[in-house]
Structure 1
């Protein structure tokens, strides 16, 4: 246990710790500004705060995503080229107005829908910049720990803000927005040193990225739809769908603790198929149980729902960042698709929830909501299982390619089955797979670097991250893995 923690600490450089803190701060700012409408509505219910604000936020988010995607597709948006200073300064200005001007005056002079549009335009851009800082993370284990710890920090910050008077909380959010300006600038300078070479972007590269992360994007989008439905229904009808106000934060906290503990004890990341075949179907039962047990267990069930939802969102973000790094792709294109998909599905879910909550024909709304949930989840499960089947077929294609291209009696050909088994078990990247084969043959870091056309220091970095994933600390232990 102590050794594993020591290995993780060695992997977390100051640049990676800084990226973690910046991403957690962004999530805190985005969550606080959305659910409280920049502090004008300090007591929200889950995702539902002020419907005009939410509609405006959706419009602003989609506009930002469309603009970023068009620039990316046209090859005019380079990595680390998206601006963030003006959006953060504007966020700080709005918070300062809310902090020092009576809320009644602000509500009279500023339409909440317009304020929501500003939120969507600004926070979406800042979110892309914050997430891009994580692309410089080479180790998959470090990346998942970064996401989990950011959820932990953001949750703790949200709880603290909820205990403060609204004026003080708004002033602190303004200070946080201003502090993120120099922090993001330094974070960019730090991560660009260790980042892999990037292409400018474009649709051919995007297709390669989406092949690896389209299924997780679909999963989290479907979760957004049904979560929005349940929240709006609870907000509109005040009946058996009892959603705990703190459920999103409690779910994030539980997910962060469980995921961090898993990584520390297992020294590996959860496999994506675990989400496809366990988490996703399991939460179907939770959602379908809500109409029948909402009065008694609604608050507890809502926390379970948000825990599973947070895990799905975190794993989807992990897959997106890792796919961009593996493809050498600019993050902005796939991030725009992810953000727009989630926002569209959330709005569809909110609209359905409002409609179901407005029905007055006895228990009809319960049956309709059940039918809606079943249809959505059946569709989602079919596509997810299709993605799972395709992912299972990939290793077969790779082995066939190796058989054709490699010498019949080569080490890699002889141990092809064992190599693919280790790659699958420990979720190794293509480059880590090559390094694994080199170490298993007893090669040194210098010879591996020469064979892969890398610098020796880069090869040593891959070896270090590979040791962490495999749970070993020397080359002989890697060789022993092939004898088991």
Structure 2
């Protein structure tokens, strides 16, 4: 039987995964100004005192960001944290971040170098970064598909905007940088007033273990990306920074994955297809002789590879924030801590210790090491799926519900039925919504009920919603208890009769 390959958003019967809002434009401005990852920040190098104060500012910024991230994580994971006014704390952090960046901009045009003041400005701005990042994550959180599309949109806008603004004289770059910093930081002071309620944490250790079990590979990718962009600055064919060109190409690749080729669940597909393909492109291009076009293009391919990893990691963090398994501050704080710690390591090696003048040859070594870890992970995952015993309810039995076809997987069956018979999908969701209202299911339980009614297993639901399998099983048990049933067949009959 033929099956239809449909985009993930069409299979859900929802709108496309990205609906651009003004808030997203402000997020792109924020991303374009975060040192040391901002290409626009590096464009201030032509300023008179940049070389004298840049190292002090960046070192203090990264150290403060790492320590502040750790403090945010520890506080978020406390069983009974002391109450605090989010709006007030966020407003203070916005002011601190803008003051720190503003002082640095003033110092690069000062009459004489003032590294001590640059050090203080870096501490103030870096300490505010984790709170701003957490508030941005709260403001734009969403499912994996929409989060990945959003990250790609922000990346292409930030890279293209930075490329255009970098063509201005250094005074114009400084003015544009200050405006982008203000536009990117100010909105979170408003969004913090209407945030989601706090997520209680009973066992901090188990909570961190659940988070790492879902995010360790993307976090590793973010760390490698942060390290490499700190120690290596390449030009793409002599026309622009390789990071800018690579960022735009990576965004286009991710857009294609979200809208055209992405399978569900999207995250495992990215690991198994998208990331290995990007690594293979870099390896093939890098094997050509020096001085040839493919060899030069391999530098851009390297940045594409790392930025795709970073986009997947950022999207996953947004999806985890939406899942509400952990406090958003803990989730985002972990991501910021990993990224800034890796950037700090690269900064210390290249600027402080001056281990080598050219880290270029190490790029291939680091990429090979990461790909090796990825291959081991994929092999272990494939073997686990091969030898694992199918879970109860992993596939609907014959006659168990709508959308069933002999010889086809539940995922393929659901995709075909939802693509060809949208009215059936609407009816199924309506019946599930009626049951959820009648039996007082929580919003998350109502969402999982729809997946169960379609015949999906807890493992699949966990991958799709970016939850741990144990959390999904807990929700399933609660659903069965509230509905007064004990088996999948009873659930299907209950949904059919709703």
Q: Does the alignment reach a TM-score above 0.5?
A: yes
| Separation in 2, partners of 1:219, 1:278 | 15
Q: Judge conservation of contact 1:73–1:333 (CA < 8 Å) in 2.
A: yes
Q: Judge conservation of contact 1:68–1:336 (CA < 8 Å) in 2.
A: yes
What's the counterpart of residue 204 of structure 1?
206
| Separation in 2, partners of 1:25, 1:242 | 26
What's the counterpart of residue 400 of structure 1?
391
Among candidates 174, 178, 182, match of residue 178 of structure 2: 174
Q: Judge conservation of contact 2:147–2:316 (CA < 8 Å) in 1.
A: no
Query: CA deviation digits over 1:142-196, x for unaligned, max 9?
Result: 2221111111221232123313333343334434444445522444466x5xx69
| Separation in 2, partners of 1:70, 1:407 | 46
2:255 is aligned with 1:251: no
1:215-294 to 2 correspondences below 5 Å: 215-231=217-233, 246-266=241-261, 269=266, 271-280=270-279, 282-283=281-282, 293=290
* C-alpha RMSD of the superposition: 5.0
What's the counterpart of residue 475 of structure 1?
none
What's the counterpart of residue 104 of structure 1?
110
2:180 is aligned with 1:183: no
| Separation in 1, partners of 2:47, 2:260 | 38
Q: CA deviation at 1:377?
A: 4.5
**Higher mean C-alpha displacement, 171-180 vs 21-30:** 171-180
What's the counterpart of residue 140 of structure 2?
134
Q: Judge conservation of contact 1:130–1:184 (CA < 8 Å) in 2.
A: yes
| Separation in 2, partners of 1:326, 1:60 | 29
What's the counterpart of residue 309 of structure 2?
312
Q: Judge conservation of contact 2:243–2:300 (CA < 8 Å) in 1.
A: yes
2:316 is aligned with 1:323: no
What's the counterpart of residue 477 of structure 1?
none
| Separation in 2, partners of 1:79, 1:140 | 30
Q: CA deviation at 1:379?
A: 4.2
1:320-359 to 2 correspondences below 5 Å: 320-326=317-323, 328-350=325-347, 355=354, 357-358=356-357
What's the counterpart of residue 487 of structure 2?
none
Q: Cα gap change, 1:296/1:336 in structure 2, threshold over 3 Å: closer, same or farther?
A: same
What's the counterpart of residue 384 of structure 1?
374
The gaps in structure 2 that reach 5 residues or longer are 1-5, 455-498
| SS of match in other structure, 2:315 | helix
Query: CA deviation digits over 1:400-441, x for unaligned, max 9?
Result: 24379x999845998798555449999xxxxxx9xxxx9979
Q: Judge conservation of contact 1:220–1:342 (CA < 8 Å) in 2.
A: yes
Q: Cα gap change, 1:38/1:130 in structure 2, threshold over 3 Å: closer, same or farther?
A: farther
Among candidates 114, 117, 125, match of residue 123 of structure 2: 117
2:451 is aligned with 1:449: no
| Separation in 2, partners of 1:115, 1:40 | 16
Q: Cα gap change, 1:378/1:249 in structure 2, threshold over 3 Å: closer, same or farther?
A: closer
What's the counterpart of residue 85 of structure 1?
91
Query: CA deviation digits over 1:36-88, x for unaligned, max 9?
Result: 669753489xxxx9444332232122112111111122243899948332233
| Separation in 2, partners of 1:80, 1:134 | 21
Q: Judge conservation of contact 2:96–2:125 (CA < 8 Å) in 1.
A: no
Among candidates 74, 81, 84, match of residue 78 of structure 2: 74
| Separation in 1, partners of 2:108, 2:342 | 35
| Separation in 2, partners of 1:63, 1:400 | 43
| Separation in 2, partners of 1:80, 1:20 | 25
- Compute the TM-score of the two structures, normalised by the length of structure 2: 0.66
| SS of match in other structure, 2:371 | helix
Q: CA deviation at 1:141?
A: 2.6
Among candidates 3, 25, 39, match of residue 21 of structure 1: 25
- Compute the TM-score of the two structures, normalised by the length of structure 1: 0.68
